[in-house]
Structure formats: C-alpha cells, structure tokens
Structure 1
Amino acid sequence: MTTPTPNTLAVALVQHACSADRAETTARTEAGIRKSAAEGAQLIVLQELHTSLYFCQHESPDLFDLAEPIPGPSTEWLGGLAAELNVVIVGSLFERRAPGLYHNTAVVLERDGRLVGTYRKMHIPDDPGYYEKFYFTPGDLGFEPIDTSVGRLGVLVCWDQWYPEAARLMALAGADVLIYPTAIGWNPDDAPEEHARQRDAWITIQRAHAVANGLPVLVCNRVGHEPDPTGQLSGSQFWGNSFVAGPQGEFLGQLGAEPDVLRVDVDLARSEQVRRWWPFLRDRRIDAYGDLVKRFRR
C-alpha cells in the first residue's frame, strides 16, 4: 500500500455475501469498512442494497417493511462510522419516501458523518429474478454528482451501469469518478459459457464508460448464492468481481467471487492527461444528437 499524494485518492470496495439476518449482514459490512479504513482508504464504496438479501427475486408487499427513511437508522449508522474513521462512505438503501413511494437510493456520508447527498436509481429493471419495478419508483434527482471532501462523486446504481447516457451526463456535470454499487448475478441453471458472457459484458460496458469519459470507475458487487424464496427459479449466484478501472479502462484492481475488500490508489490527475490525448468531449457533435431523446427512430 502506498501513501496517497495530493492527486491520489485511496479507495476501497467492500464485497460480501448477505443473509436474512440483518445484524449479521451489517456486521459484515462494518467489518469491511473498518478493514478498508485501517488500510488507509479515504473513500469506501458498498454494494447495492447491502443491508439485506436481494429481496427483488419475487414480489411481496410484505417486503416493503425492509424500507427505511433517509435520513434514518442506516444513514445514522454509516454516518457514525464515517465520522469515527474519518472516511467518506457510499452506501445503498431501500428508501421509504412516503407511504406507497419507495426508491433504490445511494447515500453519501462525509468524513464528519453528515449525509451530504443522495442519488435515486434512474433505470429500474424488470426481469425474472429482478422484479425491481414492483418495489422502486424511478429516480427523480437526475444525474448530479455529489460534492465531497474527496471529490465530485458520480454515483449511479447497478442497472444504470448499462447506459452510456447516464455515465456521460455525470461526466458532463463534472464528476471526478463514476461509482456503481451493484447486485448482479447469473442464473445457476445457465451454461458456464453464458455465465462468462454475462459477466464479461458487465465488466466491458463499465470499462467502456471509463474510456469514453476519461474517468476512473469504481464498481462494487455482492457475492454468494441467494435462493428464490418462491422456489420457482434457482435463485441468483452473485458473481462479485468488483473492480476499479482507470480513465483508459485499465484495471487498477479486481476481486474474484469471494468476500473481500479491494483497496486501490487512484491517480485523479490522469483524467486530465487522458482527456488531452483523447479529447472525446471536444469532438462531440452536440448539434447532431437530438434524436437521442427519442425512444426509437422508426
């Protein structure tokens, strides 16, 4: 581990399995946060919906009881850790905004424990085993970076990671890094070749966001098998593989499929250099992109 310089951001990703026991799950999260801080991290990123099992594998009105207000118990807990350890933490929570109105919401806690920003997931999937449209209202806060003591954080969430528009808008708003808390896995019944294709596509698209925008990308995914409570499907095998990529898409660090903490130093000054070499923002034809706001052109 190196000592961070003024242009270096020490980041850590906390990748772990979740269980039906909330206390056990949050204890794993907290242990990862403390380990990250002990290794010198200034910015710690947690996985999507890290306080519980991934409940969206089926639809049940009872599961709305997992939601909580923001600010609320989890932001108080994360804020206390941020203040104690002098770190910035990016968390991911099931937000109860009002009766019948819920979001998949990322939260950012500053070094002094303050909640300094939120991002509500904009793109909401609805696939077998990922019935998020039943639970989450699409975000209404737009693609706005969150200002912190360690930089402007372009926080997005999971399904957002497949959309180049989301990454681009965060970059155009001045984000210093792109951050993706994630819960993604494969169907255990699919062939190994299909598993590899899905995982590789997920890695490739996010590395492409780094390249296209000249920004570092931080991705934190959960691990472990979580069964389908209905027994209709074989559950999800969350594949982990959390990683940090530099502004040319280069791997700065990557985990496998086991619980772990990834601690990486990110040179923020490289974004300026890379954007001078590859001036994609300069050469964008903004006069010709109007059709991007259409659903389809035919």
Structure 2
Amino acid sequence: MRAAAIQLGVGQSVDETIRTARELVDEAAADGADFIVLPELYAVPFVQPEPDPEYFALAESLDGPSNTMAREASERHGITVVSSVFEAASVPGVYHNTSCTYSAGELVQTYRKSHLPFSNGFPEKFYFRPGEEAPSAVDTVAGRVGTIICYERHFPELARAVALDGGIALALPVACASKPMRDVFQIELRALAIANGMGVVCANRSGLEVEKDYFGTSAVYGPSGEILAQVDDGPGIAIADLDPAAIAATRRTRPFLRDRRPDMYAALV
C-alpha cells in the first residue's frame, strides 16, 4: 500500500479547491499512491466558532461535486480515495459530516461522523446529526482500510474497532486548528498507530480561514508510530509506503489485539 495524505490550503472558492484537490490527487497517483485521503469537508470552508445558519447552503448530496471528483479520480487511476463531504441527507433539514471511500470508482463505504464536538470553537453539533454506525474496515484495491473523522481521534475505541475488523490502515480526515490540541495532535495519532499496529493516514487543512489558523502537519504514520512522511505548511502531499507484511509482523511482536480482555471492560460500556 502506498498511502498519501492530501493537505489543502484554505481561502479558495469551492470550485478552485476541488480543482486543486484533483491536481494533488493526480500527482499522488502519478507517484504510485493507491490509498489517498482528503481533509475533512475538504471542498468547503469549515465551521467557525459562532454558529451560522447560512453555512447550510454549502451542503451537497453524496453525488455532489466533492465526491464526484474523488470517485472519478479513483476510477481514472484504479485506486482508493477517501473523500469527505458536508452531506445534505435525503431527509429535509438533516445534515451529516460524512466520509466516502471509493475503490476503483466504486463506493465501498460511507461513514458518518458519530462523535461531534461543541468545544474549542467547533460547534459541530449545531450543524450535523451524528452517524449511527460504528467505524469498520472495508476491502479496497489498496487493502483493507477504515475511517474515523477528526475529533474522533480522541476516542481510541473507534480506531480499535477498525483494527479489530481487520483494517491495516486508518484514514483520518481532519480540520484541526485548535492551538491547545496542536501539542498533543501527533502524540494521539502515533498512539493510535502503536496501540493497533496499523498505519494511520491523516489529512488536514493549512492556513488562515477567517478566525482559524489550520496547522497542517498531514502525515503518514507506520505501525510503530513512526512518521513516514509529513507536510508542514501549505498545500502538499505526504506519501509513504505501508507494508502489510510489516504491519502483520508488528501485530505479532506487539500482540495488543491478541491480549485484549473484553470480559474485563464491561464497566466501560
């Protein structure tokens, strides 16, 4: 698996952002990437600290322009692309923060963000209905992968669910601009990789968007928590190889999944 995290600058129009994203996806594919992750709600401005009813105008259906770009790129290159969209559901007035995984042009997974913040300037509960399905893994042309979204990295149970379902890599679209979180951002992502013995591919925004300064740091992490590739600021691509054999070997030498004792964790749930 050759994994790539696409990092986008902010402040462009929706059409310009999608065009930039397409160019970066094509560039990553030309460099051999077969598993590409885009940032959270990559094509539109992200939510600001104060709830804004006008923001709903940016929502689109699952077959709207954001996912159309990802689907077409996935089909064109015969690869896996994880898109992220502000979804207007079929029920009027219902919206989701949704990620869609395309494998060789086929939609193989739709995951709706189930844990939503209303803190640190991210009033997402105002906009989105939480998803009702737990994260899981799905087979793609790149390998077996799963997705969680941004704030959900704080809940290790979600990444563990992907690992227990056979996922060897975790897609993590994010929109991270919170200064208090920047200091622990990579610690958390490295910990998820180590605890589950899997790759983590995290794609963030970069730059100032109204009141928020997105800090980038998109990266690909190996199963021992090592940073295999990283983009600091501005648009770019973090790309690196994730070896399924190395992931399997890591899970044998650090058998955390084997040594779990679910019978002792009942009090947690």
Please state which band the TM-score falls in when normalised by the shorter chain. over 0.9
Partner of 2:6: 14
Task: Tell me by how many angstroms 1:14 deviates.
Answer: 1.0
Q: CA deviation at 1:20?
A: 5.1
Q: Show the counterpart of 1:108.
A: 101
Aligned with 1:224 (options 207, 222, 231)? 207
* Correspondence for 2:254: 278
Mapped to 2, the partners of 1:159 and 1:243 lie a distance apart of 17
Which amino acid letter does the alignment assign opposite residue 186 of structure 2?
A: I
Q: What is the alpha-carbon distance in structure 1 between the residues aligned to residue 127 and residue 115 of structure 2?
A: 13
List per-residue Cα deviations over 1:236-263 (Å, max 9, x = no partner): 1100001111111111111212221112
Amino acid at match of 1:151: G
For the residues of structure 1 that align with 2:68 and 2:188, how far apart are their CA atoms? 34
Structure 2 counterpart of 1:205: 188
Deviation at 1:51, TM superposition (A): 0.6
Contact 2:197 2:251 in 1 (8 A): yes
Where do 1:136-285 residues align within 5 Å?
136-186=128-178, 195=179, 198-227=181-210, 235-285=211-261
Query: Which whole-Å CA distance do the structure 2 matches of 1:286 and 1:178 have between them?
Result: 22
Structure 2 residue aligned with 1:4: none
Q: How high is the TM-score relative to the length of structure 1?
A: 0.86
Q: Deviations over 1:58-117 (max 9, x none)?
A: 312221121111133332232112212222110100011121111100011121x22221
Matched residues in 2 for 1:52 and 1:267: separation? 33
Distance in 2, Cα, partners of 1:259 & 1:20: 12
Give % identity: 38
Normalising by structure 2, what TM-score? 0.95
Letter paired with 1:267: D
* Partner SS state of residue 145, structure 2: strand
Alignment of 1:59-78 (within 5 A): 59-78=51-70
* 1:57-136 equivalences in 2 (<5 Å): 57-97=49-89, 98-111=91-104, 113-136=105-128
User: Structure 2 CA distance, aligned partners of 1:254 and 1:149?
Assistant: 24
3-state SS of the aligned residue for 1:210? helix
Amino acid at match of 2:219: F
CA contact (8 A) 2:67 2:84 kept: no
The letter of the residue matching 2:227 is: F
Q: Any residues of structure 2 matched to 1:43-54 within 5 Å, and which?
A: 43-54=35-46
Q: Deviations over 1:101-155 (max 9, x none)?
A: 11100011121x2222111011101124211000111111212212211112111
Task: Give the alignment's Cα RMSD to 1 decimal.
Answer: 1.4
Distance of 1:249 and 1:171 partners within structure 2: 15
Q: Residue 246 of structure 2 aligns to which amino acid in structure 1?
A: R
- Describe the SS at the equivalent of 2:241: strand
- d(CA) in 1 for partners of 2:121 and 2:12? 17
Kindly name which structure, 1 or 2, has the bigger radius of gyration based on alpha carbons.
1
SS in 2 for 1:94: strand
**Structure 2 unpaired stretches of 5+:** none
Matched residues in 1 for 2:26 and 2:244: separation?
A: 24
**Residue 18 of structure 1, CA deviation:** 2.2
Q: Is the 8 A contact 1:11 1:41 kept in 2?
A: yes
CA distance in 2, matches of 1:102, 1:147: 27
How far the C-alpha of 1:276 sits from its partner, in A, is: 1.1
Which amino acid in structure 1 is aligned with residue 34 of structure 2?
A: Q
